[in-house]
């Protein structure tokens, strides 16, 4: 969420913040999955290639799927934060966002 707040440049609209949130969830989950797959490949001495293409493709798909699932899990809380004034103020304060004019 902090990366999303930085990308909104201290001004946000709900759709813009959620779009950045989806992008960052997918990117971070994919990078973490790629790093874990690289560690798995490095620890396996019987592998012919340093990092086979099959492992790379699998890691990309699994990382993207994990990012989308994380986004879908957090989406109800984000929607509540956008709809309810009390939680909207808290979200803006925690992410150092300026008011969107609503």
40-89 pLDDT, tens digit each? 777 777 766 666 777 788 888 999 999 999 999 999 988 888 888 888 88
- Average pLDDT score over the chain: 80
Helix, strand, coil % in the chain, rounded to nearest 5: 75, 0, 25
Q: Retrieve residue 73's tokens.
A: 């899990």
Residues whose CB is less than 8 angstroms from the CB of residue 1 and which lie 6 or more positions away in sequence, other chains included: 21, 95
pLDDT value of position 71: 93
Q: Retrieve residue 89's tokens.
A: 């103020």
pTM of the model: 0.74
Residue 99: pLDDT band with limits 50, 70, 90:
low
pLDDT value of position 6: 63
What is the distance between the alpha carbons of residues 9 and 98, in angstroms, rounded to a whole number? 9
């Amino acid at each position: 969420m902090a990366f999303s707040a930085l990308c909104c440049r201290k001004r946000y609209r709900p759709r813009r913040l959620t779009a950045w949130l989806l992008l960052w969830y997918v990117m971070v989950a994919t990078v973490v999955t790629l790093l874990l797959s690289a560690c798995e490949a490095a620890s396996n001495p019987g592998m012919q290639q340093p990092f086979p293409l099959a492992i790379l493709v699998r890691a990309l798909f699994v990382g993207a799927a994990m990012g989308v699932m994380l986004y879908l899990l957090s989406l109800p809380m984000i929607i509540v934060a956008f709809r309810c004034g009390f939680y909207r103020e808290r979200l803006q304060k925690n992410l150092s966002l300026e008011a969107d004019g609503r």
